[in-house]
């Protein structure tokens, strides 16, 4: 479907992708950037770059193609749905499942489960597909949790919901609370880590402060429980949402997550004779404003069974574990 507009008089010069995202209710800036990259947008008859500045009098034409069918198929993977309506879905993600398809994980992901869920609902009630706005591998995804992280996630079911939720995440107005079980005794009752991070210059699969593209990252935390000198349970309030942020920031204090071999080495992957097979990180609470109704919604789920087992062992040991 082709759309067009003329930049009005008095409009201050701004990036094309920014201008269109503020003048198009059903498309996010990321979706518009993809359209520009595909050549589906012209300014005064010429193909632009997303960063091109538009000015009064510029004629912009863009073509929004019909959503292409995803090549990634649905799979009957159970979902723990906490809430669902016509525009969004809130679920409790288990640890051990990758959120979206990528090299090495083209199946068995949360997206495969979501596609099956939506296809089943559509067959039963002629519902909608997941939106294409997140891209072919990430339909409906507004945020993500690492494979080893459990907890609350929100999924957009329409492009408008995706845009509305994305704006909240970008503005950091989402209430996110994590539980993190770390090695050692954390000093004090609370703390704050303000450390810019990005892709590590030597280890491309790791995130660190040793990077050529640092991005501001802030994490605040409160001590919830102590287990002698062995471990500490902290309640984490991330103020930004960078990849691996909580894991990297806590490790930078000398307190990597139990089970997080990437940032703590093998020494943090066993405790009291028990193997810790994944980072002990749980997205406990997620609060946001419904993108359509404007109602504030908040969901809290307890840690999953494996994390509860480790916590129970620590509590019963009174800090005497090695």
Helix (H) or strand (E) holding 316: helix 305-317
Q: In 10 A of CB 8, how many CB atoms? A: 9
pLDDT in tens, 6-57: 888 877 888 898 888 777 756 777 778 888 888 889 999 999 988 899 989 9
Burial 279-318 (b: 16+ CB within 10 A, else e): bbbbbbbbbbbbbeeeeeeebebebbebbeebbeebeebe
Please state the rounded mean pLDDT for residues 258-262: 96
Just list the catalytic residues: 146
Question: What is the 3-state composition of the chain as percent helix, strand, coil, each rounded to the nearest 5?
Answer: 25, 30, 45
Residues with Cβ within 8 Å of residue 267, at least 6 apart in sequence: none
The pTM (predicted TM-score) of the whole model is: 0.75
- Cα→Cα distances 82→43, 203, 261, 321, Å: 44, 37, 31, 36
Beta carbons of 76 and 36 less than 8 angstroms apart = no
CA angle 172, 177, 180 (to 5 degrees): 130
Which domains does the chain possess?
2-63 (3.10.290.10), 81-170 (3.30.2350.10), 175-317 (3.30.2350.10)
Q: Where does the pLDDT of residue 140 fall: very low under 50, low under 70, confident under 90, or very high at 90 and above?
A: confident
pLDDT in tens, 189-229: 999 999 999 988 888 789 999 988 889 999 999 999 999 99
Helix (H) or strand (E) holding 29: helix 29-37
Beta carbons of 132 and 140 less than 8 angstroms apart = no
Burial class (CB in 10 A: 0-12, 13-18, 19+), 69: exposed
**Dist. CA 182–CA 55, nearest whole Å:** 52
């Amino acid at each position: 479907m082709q759309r067009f507009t003329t930049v009005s008089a008095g409009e201050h010069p701004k990036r094309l992708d920014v201008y269109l995202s503020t003048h198009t209710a059903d498309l996010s800036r990321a979706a518009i950037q993809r359209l520009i990259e595909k050549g589906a947008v012209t300014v005064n008859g010429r193909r632009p770059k997303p960063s091109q500045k538009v000015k009064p009098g510029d004629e912009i034409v863009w073509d929004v193609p019909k959503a292409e069918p995803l090549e990634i198929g649905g799979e009957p993977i159970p979902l723990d749905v906490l809430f669902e309506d016509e525009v969004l879905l809130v679920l409790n993600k288990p640890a051990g499942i990758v959120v979206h398809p990528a090299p090495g994980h083209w199946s068995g992901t949360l997206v495969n489960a979501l596609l099956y869920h939506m296809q089943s609902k559509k067959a039963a009630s002629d519902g909608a597909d997941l939106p294409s706005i997140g891209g072919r591998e990430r339909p409906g995804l507004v945020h993500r949790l690492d494979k080893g992280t459990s907890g609350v996630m929100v999924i957009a079911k329409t492009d408008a919901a995706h845009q509305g939720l994305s704006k909240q995440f970008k503005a950091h107005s989402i209430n996110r609370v994590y539980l993190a079980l770390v090695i050692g005794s954390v000093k004090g009752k609370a703390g704050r880590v303000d450390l810019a991070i990005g892709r590590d210059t030597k280890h491309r699969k790791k995130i660190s402060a040793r990077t050529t593209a640092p991005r501001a990252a802030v994490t605040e935390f409160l001590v919830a429980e102590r287990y002698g000198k062995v471990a500490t349970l902290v309640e984490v309030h991330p103020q930004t949402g960078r990849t691996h942020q909580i894991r990297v920031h806590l490790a930078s204090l000398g307190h990597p997550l139990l089970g997080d071999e990437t940032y703590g080495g093998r020494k943090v992957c066993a405790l009291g004779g028990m193997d810790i097979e994944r980072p002990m990180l749980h997205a406990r609470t997620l609060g946001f404003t419904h993108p359509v109704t404007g109602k504030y919604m908040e969901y809290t789920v307890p840690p999953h069974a494996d994390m509860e087992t480790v916590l129970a062992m620590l509590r019963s040991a009174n800090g005497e574990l090695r």
